Each structure stands twice: as C-alpha cells, then as structure tokens.
C-alpha cells in the first residue's frame, strides 16, 4: 500500500475542514485533506446553500403568483406562473456545483493536497483511504477531524420510499401535493415554508408545544402568524408513530395532544428531527479520544484528549452551524502554526431563514435574567422603518430587540424577526463581540433608509428616547 506523510491531515471538506486546510496552507503548513463525498460538506452540498436556493425560488414563485392573483405596486401578471421544478432543482444544483468546485480551486491555490475517498483511522495519527487508485495510507503529525454530522432518522416509522430526509427534500423531482413534516425546528420550517410557497399543502407534526422551542414566543410569533395565514396545519404536542404506504403516497399515523391516534395522508413525509455527529464507520474507536455525550470532547483550543489531534464543527457539539465550524477551523490552523488562540466567541449568531427570518445573538431576556443580570430591553418595530415599508416588509410583526445590562448598558443579546433580518446578524454579532453598550449602537450614524436603522432605534428606545415612535 502506498504511504504518504503530511504535517497536517484534515478529514472532511465541509466549512470546518476546508477552511482549516486553506488557513493551514496560508500559514505554510504542508496539508492533506481527505473528502469521501464532495467538497463543501453538508453546508454546501445538502444544507445551507441548496436550502437557501430553494427558499429563494419559492419566494419568487409565491410573489409572482400573488401578482397574478391581485396586482400590487402597479404590477400585474396576466397568467399564473408555471413551475418546472426539475429546472428549479437544476438551477440549485448549478450553484452547488460552482461553489463546490470553487472550494476545490481554493484548496489547490493554497497548495493543499486533495485526496478523495473515505478515511479509516487505524490509530490516532494514521488512516487508510480507499481511493479509486487503491488504498492509500496517510501518516500525519497533526490530525484535524471535521467529519460533520448526519440526519437523525426515525426508523420506527417503517420503511417507505416516501419518507425523506432534508437531503432528499432538496432534490425532489416534483413538488409534493401534500408534504408532512415531522419536526418544527429550523430545518423543517425552512423547507416546509419553501414548499408551501411552491404550492404544496404542508402539515407539521411536532412533539413540543411550540415551534423553534429555543426561541421565545415574542420572537417566533410572526413566524407562527405566517404559518397560520398561509394555511399550514400545525399538530403540536404530537408524536409521529408509523407510516404506511398507500397506492399513492402514504398514511402517517401520530399520537395527538390528547393521546389518541390520528392519521393524515401525504405524498411525502419529511423527517427533520435533528442531526447527530458523524462518529461511526471511520475508526474513531481506534483513536482513544474522550467523548462528550455523542460528540468528540475538545478544549477551548479544539484539542482532543490525544496530543495533536484536533476536532472542529458539528463533530464537537452545539451549535451545529457552518460559521462556527469555519471559525474553529481557522483557530486550529493558527494553533498548529504555534499562534496559540482559543475558540472563545462571546456568542455565535443563529439565523432561521423562515418567513419571516429570525436572528438571535447572545442572551434572550429570560436567559439574561436567569444568568442573574438586571436588564433593560430596547425594542423597535419594522412597521415604523421607512425602508421596511418600501420593501413590503413592515407588516409581518417584525422588530429588533436589544437586551442590555441595566447598570452599565452593556449589550448582552440582540434578537430580531422580520423580512431579510439575516443580513443584520453580523452587525448584531459585532456589537456583542466588541462589548458595545446601548450608547454605542445609538451613537452610530445608521444609513437611511435601511433596515439596520431599527437596531439604532431599538438602542435609543432602550435609553428611553427612540425618535421614530
């Protein structure tokens, strides 16, 4: 078997692994990356990017359909639009292909050796990769594990080709007439809403009594209102039990909130009940690493229990987000190069690309109080922001909310809900990372007209003197 030695071996070319490898290359470290599927990982191939493409296509289709039904802003469309969903998926695949080959190009530019195949570890610093040219043994001084995560499935539902995961939901050949979604977390909601906009009837089965249970009701209310207005059926406090194939589609049986069995018929059943770290079938058991529940245990430098073995991204625990994985990837490269740096963000922004969007950075009011802070809250509605009105984005009940310490006005958290608020998330994260106070946000001249003015006004409102309300 051919054997190669490398200073750094990265396993997995998702947003954690490929960023780590590029930064290692920039720092002059001889680096090899192994990927068993495609460059870009879950995020780029079957997660963040394709889901946002589908959401965008759904929104566009919904808007044109609305104009066909009822002219608005002086724009009328004579006929209802037609949807060629295979073309939509091909367009989405085109974006994915371009970005995936872009990652490969970036790795090449930074002189990262790329190996294709599944890595199997025989000990902590060596693995064997089954490449198309035969087995290749790689021995490394440093190993960065970035193997990512996979969907949790519900095997007890039974066996049916109509039960799909988020991966399959991103590549269907047609829009299902009726899509049942098990799990109203952010992935289920993003996809369910996209399919509703594309014309599917959508029903959710959720075990908890609220959608997006990690967020408070004030923040999720505009999303709940959209679901209601758009006739999405929500079965809350319900447990999916079984799926039975019918001549066409399936029957989904669930236990309802009263504890009784209930059934619905659907064309597809999308299971989005969470993700778990990819810890099986690649020799993790041969590496003598410590675990933290299902995840690989790491310290603040992303160092595992084994010297010079590092782990990043979804493999290491919550939050399972691409930007967290990438940030850890950069930190680990720096640490290997001898620039000791901890992974110590004050907060990692989380965004739900629902309708409308939700952003949360740092502590919510109840989390801040539970942590013992006396707080002040500044809140400002998009209904009073001119730019929101010009974008028809002011009527969905959206707002920006800032949570600050009462004594010195240090900002502890910022949340927002509303159309396009994902674009405000970096401003929020920066404010917290820089230890900004209400006065800093209120005193920053915000461009008019922009949605970001709501952030400044929320800070002013927290100080007791918002201008436009």
Q: Is 37 in the site for ligand FAD (CB under 6 A)?
A: yes
Q: Which is nearer to ligand FAD, 103 or 404 (CB)?
A: 103
State the catalytic residue, choosing from 110, 162, 178, 448: 448
Q: Is 41 in the site for ligand FAD (CB under 6 A)?
A: yes
Q: Which is nearer to ligand FAD, 48 or 460 (CB)?
A: 48
Q: Is 14 in the site for ligand FAD (CB under 6 A)?
A: yes
Task: Report the C-alpha gap between 47 and 464 in whole angstroms.
Answer: 42
Q: Is 322 in the site for ligand FAD (CB under 6 A)?
A: yes
Piece in contact with ligand FAD (CB under 6 A), picked from 10-18, 54-62, 89-97, 295-303: 10-18
Piece in contact with ligand FAD (CB under 6 A), picked from 31-39, 101-109, 241-249, 379-387: 31-39
Cα 183 to its chain centre, rounded Å, is 15
Q: Is 146 in the site for ligand FAD (CB under 6 A)?
A: yes
Contacting ligand FAD (CB under 6 A), which of 143, 157, 187, 441? Answer: 187
Report, in Å, the least distance between residue 374 CB and ligand FAD: 32
Q: Is 325 in the site for ligand FAD (CB under 6 A)?
A: yes
Q: Is 166 in the site for ligand FAD (CB under 6 A)?
A: yes
Q: Which is nearer to ligand FAD, 165 or 237 (CB)?
A: 165
Q: Which is nearer to ligand FAD, 131 or 256 (CB)?
A: 131
**Interstrand relation of 291-292 and 295-296 (parallel, antiparallel or unpaired):** antiparallel
Contacting ligand FAD (CB under 6 A), which of 320, 331, 336, 458? Answer: 320
- What tokens were used for 378? 């500044």
448 catalytically annotated: yes
Q: Which is nearer to ligand FAD, 147 or 415 (CB)?
A: 147
Contacting ligand FAD (CB under 6 A), which of 42, 100, 304, 461? Answer: 42
Number of residues that bind ligand FAD (CB under 6 A): 36
Q: Is 6 in the site for ligand FAD (CB under 6 A)?
A: no
Q: Which is nearer to ligand FAD, 77 or 130 (CB)?
A: 130
Report, in Å, the least distance between residue 105 CB and ligand FAD: 17
- Residue 403, strand partner residues: 377, 413
Site for ligand FAD in 235-254 (CB under 6 A): none
Q: Is 330 in the site for ligand FAD (CB under 6 A)?
A: no
Q: Which is nearer to ligand FAD, 47 or 418 (CB)?
A: 47
Task: Report the C-alpha gap between 269 and 274 in whole angstroms.
Answer: 15
Q: List residues binding ligand FAD (CB under 6 A).
A: 11-17, 34-37, 41-43, 47-48, 51, 118-119, 146-149, 166, 187, 278, 282, 313-315, 320-323, 325, 353
Residues marked active site are found at: 448
């Amino acid at each position: 078997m051919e054997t190669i030695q490398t200073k750094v071996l990265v396993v997995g070319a998702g947003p954690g692994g490929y960023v780590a490898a590029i930064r290692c290359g920039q720092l002059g470290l001889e680096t090899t990356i192994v990927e068993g599927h495609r460059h870009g990982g879950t995020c780029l191939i079957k997660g963040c990017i394709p889901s946002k493409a589908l959401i965008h296509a759904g929104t566009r289709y919904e808007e044109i359909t609305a104009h066909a039904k009822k002219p608005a802003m002086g724009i009328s469309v004579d006929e209802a639009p037609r949807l060629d969903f295979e073309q939509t998926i091909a367009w989405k695949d085109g974006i994915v292909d371009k970005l995936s080959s872009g990652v490969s190009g970036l790795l090449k530019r930074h002189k990262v050796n790329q190996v294709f195949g599944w890595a199997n570890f025989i000990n902590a610093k060596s693995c064997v990769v089954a490449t198309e040219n035969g087995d290749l043994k790689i021995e490394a001084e440093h190993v960065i594990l970035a193997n990512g995560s996979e969907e949790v499935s519900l095997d007890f539902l039974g066996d049916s080709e109509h039960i799909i995961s988020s991966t399959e939901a991103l590549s269907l050949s047609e829009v299902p007439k009726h899509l049942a979604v098990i799990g109203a977390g952010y992935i289920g909601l993003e996809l369910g809403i996209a399919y509703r906009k594309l014309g599917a009837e959508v029903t959710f089965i959720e075990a908890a009594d609220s959608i997006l249970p990690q967020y408070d009701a004030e923040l999720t209310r505009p999303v709940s209102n959209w679901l209601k207005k758009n006739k999405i059926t929500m079965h809350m406090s319900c447990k999916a039990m079984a799926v039975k194939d019918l001549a066409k589609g399936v029957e989904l049986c669930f236990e309802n909130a009263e504890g009784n069995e209930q059934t619905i018929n659907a064309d597809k059943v999308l299971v989005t009940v969470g993700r778990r770290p990819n810890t099986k079938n690649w020799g993790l058991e041969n590496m003598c690493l410590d675990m933290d529940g299902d995840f690989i245990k790491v310290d603040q430098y992303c160092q595992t229990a084994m010297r010079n073995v590092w782990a990043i991204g979804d493999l290491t625990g919550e939050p399972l987000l691409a930007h967290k994985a990438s940030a850890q990837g950069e930190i680990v490269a720096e640490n290997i190069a001898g620039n000791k740096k901890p992974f110590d963000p004050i907060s990692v922004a989380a965004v739900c690309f629902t309708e409308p969007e939700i952003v949360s950075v740092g502590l919510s009011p109840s989390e801040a109080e539970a942590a013992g802070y006396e707080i002040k809250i500044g809140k400002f509605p998009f209904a009073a922001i001119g730019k929101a009105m010009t974008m028809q984005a002011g009527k969905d009940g959206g707002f920006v909310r800032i949570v600050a310490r009462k004594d010195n006005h240090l900002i502890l958290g910022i949340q927002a809900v509303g159309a396009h608020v994902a674009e405000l998330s970096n401003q929020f994260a920066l404010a917290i990372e820089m230890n900004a106070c209400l006065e800093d946000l209120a005193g920053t001249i915000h461009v008019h007209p922009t949605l970001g003015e709501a952030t400044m006004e929320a800070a002013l409102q927290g100080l007791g003197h918002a201008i436009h309300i």
